[in-house]
Structure 1
Amino acid sequence: MLTESQRERIQVILVSPRNPLNIGAVARAMANFGFTRMRVVAPYEPHWREARSAVGAPQLLIDAQETASLPEAIRDCLLVLGTGTLTHRKPEQPVVRLDQLAPLMTEPLRRGERVALIFGPEKHGLTREDLSYCHILVEIPTDPRQPSMNLGQAAAVCFYELAARIQVDSVGLEPPQDAEEPAPTSSNLDVLANLIEEVMTSTNYSPKTMQAANRHDLRLMLRRLHLNAADTRRALGFFRRILWRLKRGRHT
């Protein structure tokens, strides 16, 4: 079973939830399996912290962080996992079934990295834009005749799988000195993506009508490349130098 320190590295993120009762149900399920870190992105109702459905977990709602955007919520996470079904969705990132998730999270947790598990709004789940910030889409298999799940139920199923299947001993709580270079945080990748986009804009790479699509594809590509932190720093240096040369050339 995970230690308390390791469970605290799993960040549960709810994107634009509409019903406070569902937020409370997620909090209760988190408490059932020992998870404590919740972030809520742009909740629909302002009084969600008062949800009565958070039986046994009112403090978890009080301590939860509220953010205005998904990038802000995952800024310090090195592995970002979106959840959903494949019904009416063509994924653009690797897909794993829920029962295959635990092995993917074992090593990041052993290395002391923070992992985000994201749930979308009740009506439609995570959008294509939301998923562009995710390294992996976690499929929750369901009967095709009823593919959608209640938010609280979906969360509870995921938390059980993590609590029951992840095997991380206490030896790896702190990364060893000879550990490989860690992955960049989501915030680091966004900084790189924004810089590359600025270079593309400076070179008139594409018309304005294509800039949003290019931005989306760039986020996906950087996450599929699995860069480490050192590679990300080097790439930042390359593109900053290119941008400097481009701007300098305009004034010479």
Structure 2
Amino acid sequence: MLTDSQRERIVVVLVSPRNPLNIGAVARAMANFGFSRLSVVAPYEPHWREARSAVGAPQLLANAHQAASLSEAVRDCTLVMGTGTLTHRKAEQPVVRLNELASMVDRELHSGGQIAVVFGPEKHGLTREDLSYCHVLVEIPTDAQQPSMNLGQAAAVCLYEMATRGGTSIAGSGTAEDRIDAAAKVSNSPKQAPTSGNLDILAGLIEEVMVAAEYSPRMMQEANRHDLRLILRRMDLNAVDSRRALGLFRRILRRLHIPKS
């Protein structure tokens, strides 16, 4: 099983939850499996207050961090894992099966990283925009006749997989390991991966270069921004590479701003 210190490097993120009962169910599942870090993104304020003040609510609800955006909630994480079903969506990032989740977590913890596990709103789950901040999508398999899963149940399933099947040797081979190697942003390199926040800084700089170079019409800027987030998270950069890329694009931007004679 994961140790206490390992679980402290994993944060559960709820995006815009509305039902206080579901928020409470997630908190109980976290307490069941020894997780204590909870971040809530733009919750529906009346229901969030109700969940936090409920009699018997776990202490972790009182200590939960409230973030204005998903970008803010995961900025210190080196691996961001979105969750959901593929029944009504085509994934734009690598897909990890639920039974491969523990191995991926082991690899990231072994490299010294911080992990976020992200769950979407009860009604529709994570949006395409939300998932652009995620390195991978963890697929929770469900029956086609009932593809959606209750928020508390989805959290419990994922936390169980990480807590009880994690902490094993990261060595291994076979099809599952091959899929993880292809999907995970953590490699065997000793260099730590950049945080999500650092990737957002790099994406913002690249966007400035694209605007300065008149790469595409203004109406395409939002789509370009989305694509940049996805591309940078699929590139498997390490922290050193991301810093070099920052330096490179800063030089390009300075040259683009030099007045033409």
* 1:56 CA displacement: 5.6
In the alignment, the residues of structure 2 paired with residue 237 and residue 141 of structure 1 have an alpha-carbon distance, to the nearest angstrom, of 42
Structure 2 counterpart of 1:61: 61
Distance 1:167-1:95 versus aligned 2 partners, 3 A rule = same
1:227 to 221, 226, 237: 237
Structure 2 counterpart of 1:41: 41
**Pairwise mapping of residues 157-176 of structure 1 onto structure 2 (< 5 A)?**
157-168=157-168
**Pairwise mapping of residues 58-207 of structure 1 onto structure 2 (< 5 A)?**
58-168=58-168, 180-207=190-217
* 1:111 CA displacement: 2.6
AA matched with 1:71: S
1:244 matches 2:254: yes
Asked if the contact 1:24–1:53 (Cα under 8 Å) also holds between the matched residues in 2, the reply is no
**What is the alpha-carbon root mean square deviation over aligned residues?**
1.8
Asked if the contact 1:13–1:38 (Cα under 8 Å) also holds between the matched residues in 2, the reply is yes
In the alignment, the residues of structure 1 paired with residue 101 and residue 53 of structure 2 have an alpha-carbon distance, to the nearest angstrom, of 28
| Runs (5+) with no aligned partner, structure 1 | 170-178
AA matched with 1:212: E
* 1:134 CA displacement: 0.5
AA matched with 2:118: I
Asked if the contact 1:28–1:54 (Cα under 8 Å) also holds between the matched residues in 2, the reply is no
Give the TM-score normalised by structure 1.
0.92
Asked if the contact 1:19–1:45 (Cα under 8 Å) also holds between the matched residues in 2, the reply is no
In the alignment, the residues of structure 2 paired with residue 46 and residue 37 of structure 1 have an alpha-carbon distance, to the nearest angstrom, of 22
AA matched with 1:215: R
In the alignment, the residues of structure 1 paired with residue 46 and residue 252 of structure 2 have an alpha-carbon distance, to the nearest angstrom, of 45
DSSP-derived class of the 2:14 partner: strand
Asked if the contact 1:83–1:139 (Cα under 8 Å) also holds between the matched residues in 2, the reply is yes
| Runs (5+) with no aligned partner, structure 2 | 170-188
In the alignment, the residues of structure 2 paired with residue 63 and residue 52 of structure 1 have an alpha-carbon distance, to the nearest angstrom, of 9
* 1:46 CA displacement: 3.4
Structure 2 counterpart of 1:173: none
In the alignment, the residues of structure 1 paired with residue 216 and residue 142 of structure 2 have an alpha-carbon distance, to the nearest angstrom, of 41
Give the TM-score normalised by structure 2.
0.89
Asked if the contact 2:31–2:58 (Cα under 8 Å) also holds between the matched residues in 1, the reply is no
Distance 1:225-1:55 versus aligned 2 partners, 3 A rule = farther
In the alignment, the residues of structure 1 paired with residue 55 and residue 133 of structure 2 have an alpha-carbon distance, to the nearest angstrom, of 32
In the alignment, the residues of structure 2 paired with residue 47 and residue 102 of structure 1 have an alpha-carbon distance, to the nearest angstrom, of 32
* 1:29 CA displacement: 0.4
Asked if the contact 2:52–2:61 (Cα under 8 Å) also holds between the matched residues in 1, the reply is no
AA matched with 1:158: C
Q: How many residues align?
A: 243
1:14 matches 2:14: yes
Distance 1:229-1:54 versus aligned 2 partners, 3 A rule = farther
In the alignment, the residues of structure 1 paired with residue 96 and residue 150 of structure 2 have an alpha-carbon distance, to the nearest angstrom, of 20
Q: Which portions of structure 1, spanning 4 or more consecutive aligned residues, are displaced by more than 3 angstroms?
A: 52-57
* 1:97 CA displacement: 1.1
